[in-house]
C-alpha cells in the first residue's frame, strides 16, 4: 500500500503508453498509412497551386504562391486534424476506460500531441522539399512561426476537448458540426486571401481565430508579406487557451458520463 | 482497505433511468482478505465489481480505495481489437508503470496465456477462449494489492482453469482477491468472507459458508414461491438444478398417481424424508390426503431434517436440515 505511485507519475506513464499506442494505430492501420498522412496535404496544395497558376497568380501579397499555400494549408490542417482526432478520441478509446488509470481526457491530450507531432514532421518535410525544388524559403521570425504553430495546435486541442464531451452527451451535434465546419475552409484565409475581403465582412471574418494563426505563420516566413490589419496573437492565444480550459472543465464536470458502461 | 460508502447504482435505459441495481450499499473490505460475492444472475455482482475496480462510477455514494486494485479480470473488454496481443500487453504494462522490466512481463504474459504465435496477431482474430486467457494473463502480470475476478475461473478449458486456480493460490500472502463465481467450491476454496447481494442490498458474512447458506435459502424460497403461484403451476422449475428437479418431478409423479399407499410407494425415494419428518412433528398424514400438490427438493446428502411450518401463509412448509442446509418441501393446500 505504501508503494503507490504519485498521480503525476501515473498520468505521465499513461500519456506515454497512450501516445505510443496511438502512434502505432495511426501509422500502421492500412497500407502505408504514414505515407498518406504526408501526401494528403501535399496533394491538396498541388491541386490548388495548379488551379491558381492557371489563373496566372504567381504571388500573394508579396509571398510566393506555393509557400503561401503550403503555410496556409499546413496551419489549417494542423487545426482540423488535431481537432477531429481529439473529438473522436473518447469514442474510439472506450475499451481503454476499463483500466481506471486511463481517463477520457488523457486520450484527447495524447491524440493532440501525436497529431501535432505528425503535422510538424509533415510541414518540415514539405518545407524541405520546397527548398530542394529551389524556392527561396527563409524563416524571418522563427519565434513567431513557433508561436503561431503552437497557437493553432492549441486551438485544435480546445475544439477537440470541448466537442469530445459534447458529442458524447449529444451525439446529434456531430452531424451538425460537419455542416458548420464545411465553409470554414473558405473563411480561414487559406484559399481566399483575407486582405481581398472588403471592410465590413473583413471585420466579421477576423473573429475567426484560425485566420490569425494562419496569417502569423505566413508573416513569420517573409519580410515582405503584407500584414493584415487587426491581427493579434493575443486574440489567438486568448481564444485557444479559453477553449482549452473550457474543454478541461467540461471533462472534469462530465468525466463520469464519458465512460459508457 | 476498501471503504464503500452508501453507494447506489442504476443504468440508463431507453425509457429513462432503470431500476436501482445497487440500492444503498455500505461495506468495508479489509486488506489481505479474500472475499466472495454471491447473488443470483442480475443481482448486481458484476456491477459491484466494476464499481470496486473503478471501471464504472456509482450513481450516488463513494468508494475509497487507497490501494492498487485490478480491473475485473474476467471482463472481456479492455483489449483493442486492431492491435496485437503483444501491443496490448505492452500498453497495459506501461500504464501500470512496469516500464523497466517490460520485456520480462511480456514474456510472462506470452507464456501464461498459451496462445502461441497468435500473440503477434490482432486481437480481433482471437477466439473468445484465447481472449479471456490473454486477459487473465495480463491482469496477473501487473502487480496489484487486490485482484478482482468476475467468473474468471470459468474461462478456458480444464487445464487452463487449473492453471488459473494455481495462480490464485500463489497470490495468497502477497495480494488479496475479491471474486464472483457461480461455482460453490471455487468460492469456498479461495474466500474467507462473503458478501451476499440480494434485491439491491449487500449483506456481509465473516464466513463464506454462512453467506452461501443464506443465498441458497433465499433462492429456494424464491423457487418455491414461483412454483406455488397459480399461474405457473408446479412445472416451473427454472433455476433449480437438474438433479433437484428430477427428484422434485419424481415425487410429483408419485403423488399424482394417488395418495393411497403413498408412504410405502415412495419409501425408497428421497422424498420419503419429507414425509417422515412430517410424521415426526405430528402432521397427520391423513391431512396430506387433502393436499393436492406436494413437491420437495432434497440435497444429495440425506441429513436429518428440521421442519418449519408457516402458519400465517398456511401454504408451505419449509424444511431445513440441522445445518440449515436448504431442503424444502412444498405443501400447498387448495
User: Using the beta-carbon criterion (under 8 Å), do A21 and B82 form an inter-chain contact?
Assistant: no
User: Using the beta-carbon criterion (under 8 Å), do A261 and B91 form an inter-chain contact?
Assistant: no
Q: How confident is the model at residue A245 (pLDDT cuts 50, 70, 90)?
A: very high
Condensed to tens digits (0 to 9), the pLDDT of residues A165-216 reads 999 999 898 888 888 888 888 888 888 888 888 888 899 989 999 999 999 9
Mean per-residue pLDDT for A107-125?
94
Q: Which of A13, A99, A107, A254 to mutate to test the interface with B (most CBs of B within 10 A)?
A: A99
pLDDT for the residue numbered A81: 93
Please give the interface size between A and B, counted as residue pairs whose CB atoms are below 8 Å apart: 70
CB proximity A92 to B under 8 Å = no
Q: How confident is the model at residue B120 (pLDDT cuts 50, 70, 90)?
A: very high
Mean per-residue pLDDT for B272-292?
36
CB atoms within 10 A of CB A117: 13
Between A105 and B239, the more confident residue is A105
Would you tell me which residues 224-243 of chain A have a C-beta closer than 8 angstroms to some C-beta of chain B? none
Residues of B with CB under 8 A from a CB of A: 11, 31, 50, 53-57, 66-69, 71-72, 75, 77-80, 82-83, 87, 90-92, 94-97, 99, 145
Angle among Cα B99, B103, B106 to the nearest 5 degrees reads 100
Is pLDDT above 80 for A64? yes
Phi and psi at B11, nearest 5°, equal: -105, 155
Are the beta carbons of A118 and A111 closer than 8 angstroms? no
Is pLDDT above 50 for A239? yes
User: Using the beta-carbon criterion (under 8 Å), do B94 and A13 form an inter-chain contact?
Assistant: yes
Is pLDDT above 60 for B283? no
Within 8 A by CB and 6+ apart from A62, the residues are A222, A224, A225, A226
Are the beta carbons of B139 and B147 closer than 8 angstroms? yes
First to last CA, chain A: 28
User: Using the beta-carbon criterion (under 8 Å), do A14 and B71 form an inter-chain contact?
Assistant: no
* Pairing between β-strand B176-180 and β-strand B35-38 as defined by DSSP bridges: parallel
Mean per-residue pLDDT for A78-90?
93
Q: Tell me the C-alpha to C-alpha distance, in Å, between residue A176 and each of A92, A165, A179, A180, A204.
A: 20, 15, 5, 7, 22
- Unique residue bearing C-alpha cell 500463489: B170
pLDDT for the residue numbered B186: 82
First to last CA, chain B: 54
Whether this model's pTM surpasses 0.90? no
- By CA distance, what is A261's nearest residue in B? B56
Cα separation, A164 vs A173, in Å, equals 11
Cα separation, A121 vs A111, in Å, equals 15
Condensed to tens digits (0 to 9), the pLDDT of residues A3-40 reads 678 889 999 999 999 999 999 888 877 777 888 888 88
CB atoms within 10 A of CB B210: 16
Is pLDDT above 50 for B320? no
Which of B68, B18, B72 lies closest to B50, judged by CA? B72
User: What SS3 class is residue A153?
Assistant: helix
pLDDT for the residue numbered A27: 84
User: Using the beta-carbon criterion (under 8 Å), do B95 and A13 form an inter-chain contact?
Assistant: yes
Q: From the CA of B289, how many Å to the nearest CA of chain A?
A: 55
User: What SS3 class is residue B329?
Assistant: strand
B111-134: burial string, b at 16+ Cβ within 10 Å, e else: ebbbbeebbeebbeebeeebbbbb
| Alpha-carbon radius of gyration of chain A | 20
User: Using the beta-carbon criterion (under 8 Å), do A13 and B97 form an inter-chain contact?
Assistant: yes
Here the ipTM equals 0.83
Q: How confident is the model at residue A233 (pLDDT cuts 50, 70, 90)?
A: very high
Condensed to tens digits (0 to 9), the pLDDT of residues A127-143 reads 898 889 888 888 889 99
Mean pLDDT for chain B overall: 70
The minimal CB distance from A98 to the residues B31, B77, B82 is found for B77
Condensed to tens digits (0 to 9), the pLDDT of residues B126-142 reads 888 888 888 888 888 88
Contacts of B94 in chain A (CB under 8 A): 13, 16-17, 20
Q: How confident is the model at residue B284 (pLDDT cuts 50, 70, 90)?
A: very low
Condensed to tens digits (0 to 9), the pLDDT of residues B78-110 reads 788 888 899 999 999 999 988 889 999 999 999
Are the beta carbons of B197 and B38 closer than 8 angstroms? yes
Q: Which of B32, B48, B91 to mutate to test the interface with A (most CBs of A within 10 A)?
A: B91
Q: How confident is the model at residue B224 (pLDDT cuts 50, 70, 90)?
A: low
pLDDT for the residue numbered A7: 87
- By CA distance, what is B70's nearest residue in A? A99
Amino acid at each position: 500500500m505504501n508503494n503507490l505511485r504519485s498521480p503525476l507519475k501515473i498520468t505521465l506513464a499513461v500519456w506515454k503508453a497512450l501516445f505510443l499506442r496511438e502512434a502505432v494505430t495511426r501509422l500502421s492501420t492500412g497500407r502505408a498509412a504514414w505515407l498518406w498522412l504526408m501526401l494528403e496535404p501535399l496533394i491538396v496544395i498541388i491541386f490548388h497551386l495548379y488551379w491558381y497558376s492557371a489563373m496566372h497568380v504567381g504571388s500573394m501579397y508579396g509571398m510566393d504562391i506555393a509557400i503561401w499555400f503550403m503555410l496556409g494549408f499546413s496551419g489549417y490542417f494542423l487545426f482540423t486534424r488535431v481537432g477531429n482526432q481529439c473529438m473522436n478520441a473518447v469514442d474510439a478509446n472506450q475499451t481503454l476506460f476499463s483500466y481506471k488509470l486511463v481517463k477520457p481526457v488523457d486520450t484527447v491530450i495524447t491524440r493532440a500531441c501525436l497529431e501535432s507531432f505528425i503535422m510538424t514532421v509533415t510541414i518540415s518535410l514539405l518545407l524541405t522539399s520546397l527548398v530542394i525544388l529551389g524556392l527561396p524559403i527563409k524563416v524571418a521570425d522563427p519565434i513567431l512561426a513557433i508561436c503561431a504553430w503552437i497557437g493553432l495546435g492549441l486551438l485544435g486541442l480546445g475544439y477537440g476537448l470541448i466537442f469530445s464531451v459534447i458529442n458524447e452527451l449529444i451525439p446529434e451535434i456531430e452531424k451538425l458540426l460537419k455542416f458548420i465546419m464545411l465553409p470554414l475552409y473558405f473563411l480561414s484565409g487559406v484559399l481566399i486571401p483575407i486582405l481581398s475581403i472588403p471592410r465590413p465582412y473583413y471585420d466579421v471574418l477576423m473573429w475567426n481565430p484560425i485566420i490569425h494563426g494562419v496569417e502569423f505563420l505566413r508573416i513569420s516566413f517573409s519580410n515582405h508579406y503584407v500584414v493584415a490589419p487587426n491581427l493579434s496573437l493575443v486574440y489567438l492565444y486568448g481564444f485557444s487557451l479559453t477553449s482549452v480550459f473550457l474543454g478541461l472543465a467540461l471533462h472534469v464536470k462530465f468525466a463520469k458520463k464519458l465512460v459508457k458502461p | 482497505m476498501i471503504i464503500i460508502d452508501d453507494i447506489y447504482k442504476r443504468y440508463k435505459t431507453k425509457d429513462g433511468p432503470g431500476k436501482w441495481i445497487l440500492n444503498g450499499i455500505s461495506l468495508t473490505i479489509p486488506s489481505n482478505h479474500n472475499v466472495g460475492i454471491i447473488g443470483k444472475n442480475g443481482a448486481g455482482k458484476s456491477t459491484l465489481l466494476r464499481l470496486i475496480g473503478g471501471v464504472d462510477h456509482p450513481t450516488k455514494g463513494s468508494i475509497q480505495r487507497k490501494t492498487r486494485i485490478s480491473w475485473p479480470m474476467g471482463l472481456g473488454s479492455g483489449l483493442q481489437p486492431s492491435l496485437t496481443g503483444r501491443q496490448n500487453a505492452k500498453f497495459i504494462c506501461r500504464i501500470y508503470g512496469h516500464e523497466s522490466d517490460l520485456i520480462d512481463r511480456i514474456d510472462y504474459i506470452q507464456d501464461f496465456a498459451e496462445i502461441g504465435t497468435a500473440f503477434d496477431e490482432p486481437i480481433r482474430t482471437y477466439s473468445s477462449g484465447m481472449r479471456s486467457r490473454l486477459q487473465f494473463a495480463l491482469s496477473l502480470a501487473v502487480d496489484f494489492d487486490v485482484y478482482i475476478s468476475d467468473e474468471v475461473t470459468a474461462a478456458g478449458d480444464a487445464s487452463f482453469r487449473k492453471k488459473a486456480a494455481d495462480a490464485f493460490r500463489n497470490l495468497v500472502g502477497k495480494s488479496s482477491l475479491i471474486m464472483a463465481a457461480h461455482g460453490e467450491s471455487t468460492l469456498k476454496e479461495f474466500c474467507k468472507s462473503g458478501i451476499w447481494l440480494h434485491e439491491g442490498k449487500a449483506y456481509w458474512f465473516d464466513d463464506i459458508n454462512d453467506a452461501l447458506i443464506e443465498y441458497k435459502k433465499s433462492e429456494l424460497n424464491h423457487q418455491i414461491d414461483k412454483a406455488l403461484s397459480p399461474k405457473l403451476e408446479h412445472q416451473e422449475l427454472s433455476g433449480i438444478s437438474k438433479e433437484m428437479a428430477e427428484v422434485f418431478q419424481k415425487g410429483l409423479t408419485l403423488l399424482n398417481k394417488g395418495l393411497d399407499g403413498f408412504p410405502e410407494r415412495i419409501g425408497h425415494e428421497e422424498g420419503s424424508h419429507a414425509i417422515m419428518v412430517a410424521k415426526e412433528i405430528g402432521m397427520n398424514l391423513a391431512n396430506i390426503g387433502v393436499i393436492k400438490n406436494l413437491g420437495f427438493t432434497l440435497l444429495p446428502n440425506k441429513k436429518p431434517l428440521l421442519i418449519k411450518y408457516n402458519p400465517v401463509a398456511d401454504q408451505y412448509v419449509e424444511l431445513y436440515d440441522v445445518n440449515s442446509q436448504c431442503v424444502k418441501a412444498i405443501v400447498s393446500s387448495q
